[in-house]
Chains A and B, each alone.
Chain A
């Protein structure tokens, strides 16, 4: 009986270690080998008890994309990205396969109304430390309002996986921007 329990423990230990390890490994690959895309952001921040705090993001490219055909939630859907004239990413079209590998990003079907299908990006939260989160959110909101759209994120894309890399405000990475703002005061 004890051998059985030891066996269960060994398997459980392997699973407990490998799940977070796999989560990290997949992202490390995308972050080091994926193509960089810039997404212009559009504004909000609730709190998540378990994961510290985050800045909630909205994206221009996500808001603008519409198509007349309705999508079913069961399918795997990839947004094939293209670079717009301003250097920011836009959705060119949707596809059921993740090719080309450096510009296909898995998305979820959003709402369908007014005969228009929306899509939802796989990243919505930019995790921040508890200390920085309120300042980060204020800075993001300040730089994402109409007339002063000064925030974007970089995302690495590889084989359908999209890894949120950095939130830029005023062309500076968030932490750097917050530090600069703090020294200014």
Chain B
């Protein structure tokens, strides 16, 4: 069958190349060409297999956990202890085998890494059960993650890295659920997150256009957003809006800078950042977002709370730094309006706090909440129009429609927010709908002209 490749035969052939060259049967160039040919075939064709192998390993791991945890009444403590280590020893032996013999096979590396993750969890949970070792689920996840991360580096396992960073969210959520009154200090999240960053950088420097690098970047971006949410909640400073504006703008700018595209399209990370900026602007356009909660930190402010506060400032600073750096070099392609988001949010935050009335603190309302929300509405509209015009200029229907969607979202939010008459609301909807139609017709015409 054409296109079907016998991988064993390929491996044999590639192993033979040095000998063939030495014997003079083929030239070094020929050998290199054969190597390139099969190299590209192997790396391109096995993505599906990577997924299947990984899912398979995860299922086997989960199956083992269930089987062992299900029933082992009649075993002594010592026998249970030995059994707890069997899957782990098997996984470690498999890793050693893969590192020695199958290091070039990504499906092997990913599958064995996940099998090891499952085996570590099995060993720890079975020992806990056997010896009645207490402790929270969150603590269990934290130790498990710390034990698993080195394997990501040893095996170059991208799926493993994604599982690790998603595990961080599980850990944060488990802690949040365990503490009912106080928000637990989430600063250790940042340390755990940083442990995965070098792996991403290695992958990025190796091949920034690979699917693995893109997927990992997306997962890490989403995890960062969650992490910042927990941190802002812990810092209790009312600065969450500014911090999110900074993070999402930094993501947008990093996407532009780290994953430039020549075809006029946007990388997924840039898109995520851009969509995040739009959504956050809409959320902040509600007046209730600017009722400064003034949550009180229980007791004196701890070092952890201060570090969380510093982190809230860090992302806006990074975003502004990135933008200014490119603007000064006059080599920027990003939307200036989007890049201004953290500065605009910070100014609006200042406005909202300008006229805080001490007497009204218990109502969590400042007199300037309305002014702040109105300013954010103007910004969201400006952003929508900017994205729309950029979309039309670059002939990107997706971007133009996103710009329109943003304008529509601002309009719709205000319809629900305010006490406008039905006629006004109806007219508003007609205007927004007509806007969509006109922009798309314009775009379509432009494309047809370009095609002919």
Assess the B153–A5 pair: CB atoms within 8 A. yes
**Known contacts A48-B137, A50-B137, A129-B73; A17 and B92 CB within 8 A of each other:** yes
- Bound Cα distance from A15 to B144, whole angstroms: 11
Assess the A129–B70 pair: CB atoms within 8 A. yes
Assess the A13–B123 pair: CB atoms within 8 A. no
- Bound Cα distance from A21 to B85, whole angstroms: 9
Assess the B124–A19 pair: CB atoms within 8 A. yes
Assess the B70–A5 pair: CB atoms within 8 A. no
**Known contacts A2-B103, A13-B95, A19-B143; A132 and B73 CB within 8 A of each other:** yes
The B contact surface, by secondary structure, is: helix
Q: Report the minimum CB–CB distance from A140 to chain B (whole Å).
A: 15
B64 at the A/B interface (Cβ < 8 Å)?
Answer: no
Q: Report the minimum CB–CB distance from B449 to chain A (whole Å).
A: 53
- Bound Cα distance from A28 to B153, whole angstroms: 34
Q: CB-CB < 8 A to A124: which residues of B?
A: 134
**Known contacts A6-B154, A127-B128, A131-B70; A20 and B88 CB within 8 A of each other:** yes
Assess the B128–A51 pair: CB atoms within 8 A. yes
B72 at the A/B interface (Cβ < 8 Å)?
Answer: yes
Assess the A52–B129 pair: CB atoms within 8 A. yes
B339 at the A/B interface (Cβ < 8 Å)?
Answer: no
A122 at the A/B interface (Cβ < 8 Å)?
Answer: yes
Q: Find the B residue at minimum CB distance from A12.
A: B150
B121 at the A/B interface (Cβ < 8 Å)?
Answer: yes
Count of interface residues, chain B, beta-carbon cutoff 8 Å = 41
B130 at the A/B interface (Cβ < 8 Å)?
Answer: yes
Q: CB-CB < 8 A to A11: which residues of B?
A: 150
Assess the B147–A15 pair: CB atoms within 8 A. yes
Assess the B127–A52 pair: CB atoms within 8 A. no
Q: Report the minimum CB–CB distance from B199 to chain A (whole Å).
A: 11
Q: CB-CB < 8 A to B150: which residues of A?
A: 8-9, 11-12, 15
Q: Report the minimum CB–CB distance from A62 to chain B (whole Å).
A: 13
The A contact surface, by secondary structure, is: helix
- Bound Cα distance from A16 to B127, whole angstroms: 13
A85 at the A/B interface (Cβ < 8 Å)?
Answer: no
Mask: chain A, 129-170; 1 = CB below 8 Å from B; 0 = not: 111100000000000000000000000000000011100000
Interface residues in B104-151 (C-beta closer than 8 Å to A): 116, 120-121, 123-134, 137, 140, 143, 147, 150-151
B99 at the A/B interface (Cβ < 8 Å)?
Answer: yes
Q: Report the minimum CB–CB distance from A6 to chain B (whole Å).
A: 6
Within the complex, which residue of A6, A15, A27 is in contact with B133, where a contact is CB–CB below 8 Å? A27
Q: CB-CB < 8 A to B452: which residues of A?
A: none
- Bound Cα distance from A28 to B151, whole angstroms: 29
B406 at the A/B interface (Cβ < 8 Å)?
Answer: no
B352 at the A/B interface (Cβ < 8 Å)?
Answer: no
**Known contacts A11-B150, A19-B124; A127 and B129 CB within 8 A of each other:** yes
Q: Find the B residue at minimum CB distance from A2.
A: B103
Mask: chain B, 168-193; 1 = CB below 8 Å from A; 0 = not: 00000000000000000000000000
Assess the A129–B72 pair: CB atoms within 8 A. yes
Assess the A122–B154 pair: CB atoms within 8 A. no
Q: CB-CB < 8 A to B147: which residues of A?
A: 12, 15-16, 19
Q: Report the minimum CB–CB distance from B139 to chain A (whole Å).
A: 12
Assess the A123–B134 pair: CB atoms within 8 A. yes
B57 at the A/B interface (Cβ < 8 Å)?
Answer: no
A126 at the A/B interface (Cβ < 8 Å)?
Answer: yes
Q: Report the minimum CB–CB distance from B115 to chain A (whole Å).
A: 12
A182 at the A/B interface (Cβ < 8 Å)?
Answer: no
Assess the B131–A163 pair: CB atoms within 8 A. yes
Q: CB-CB < 8 A to A9: which residues of B?
A: 95-96, 99, 150-151, 154-155
Within the complex, which residue of B120, B127, B151, B154 is in contact with A24, where a contact is CB–CB below 8 Å? B127
Q: Find the B residue at minimum CB distance from A111.
A: B181
Q: Find the A residue at minimum CB distance from B141.
A: A50
Assess the A12–B131 pair: CB atoms within 8 A. no
Q: Report the minimum CB–CB distance from A105 to chain B (whole Å).
A: 12
- Bound Cα distance from A17 to B90, whole angstroms: 12
Q: Find the A residue at minimum CB distance from B98.
A: A9
Q: CB-CB < 8 A to B237: which residues of A?
A: none
B84 at the A/B interface (Cβ < 8 Å)?
Answer: yes
Mask: chain B, 302-332; 1 = CB below 8 Å from A; 0 = not: 0000000000000000000000000000000
Assess the A24–B131 pair: CB atoms within 8 A. yes
B71 at the A/B interface (Cβ < 8 Å)?
Answer: yes
- Bound Cα distance from A11 to B116, whole angstroms: 14
A31 at the A/B interface (Cβ < 8 Å)?
Answer: yes
Within the complex, which residue of A28, A50, A52 is in contact with B121, where a contact is CB–CB below 8 Å? A50
Q: Find the A residue at minimum CB distance from B116.
A: A16
**Known contacts A9-B154, A27-B131; A52 and B99 CB within 8 A of each other:** no
23 contacts between A and B (CB under 8 A): A5-B99, A5-B154, A9-B96, A15-B147, A16-B120, A19-B143, A20-B84, A20-B85, A20-B126, A23-B124, A27-B133, A50-B125, A50-B140, A51-B125, A51-B129, A51-B140, A125-B132, A125-B134, A127-B128, A127-B132, A130-B70, A131-B73, A165-B132
CB-based closest 6 A-B pairs: A12-B150, A27-B131, A164-B132, A9-B154, A52-B69, A127-B129
Given contacts A2-B99, A27-B131, A130-B69, 9 further A-B contacts (CB under 8 A): A6-B154, A20-B124, A52-B129, A126-B132, A129-B69, A129-B72, A130-B71, A131-B73, A132-B73
Chain A residues in contact with chain B, CB under 8 A? 2, 5-6, 8-9, 11-13, 15-17, 19-21, 23-24, 27-28, 31, 48, 50-52, 122-127, 129-132, 163-165, 175
Chain B residues in contact with chain A, CB under 8 A? 65, 69-73, 81, 84-85, 88-89, 92, 95-96, 99, 103, 116, 120-121, 123-134, 137, 140, 143, 147, 150-151, 153-156
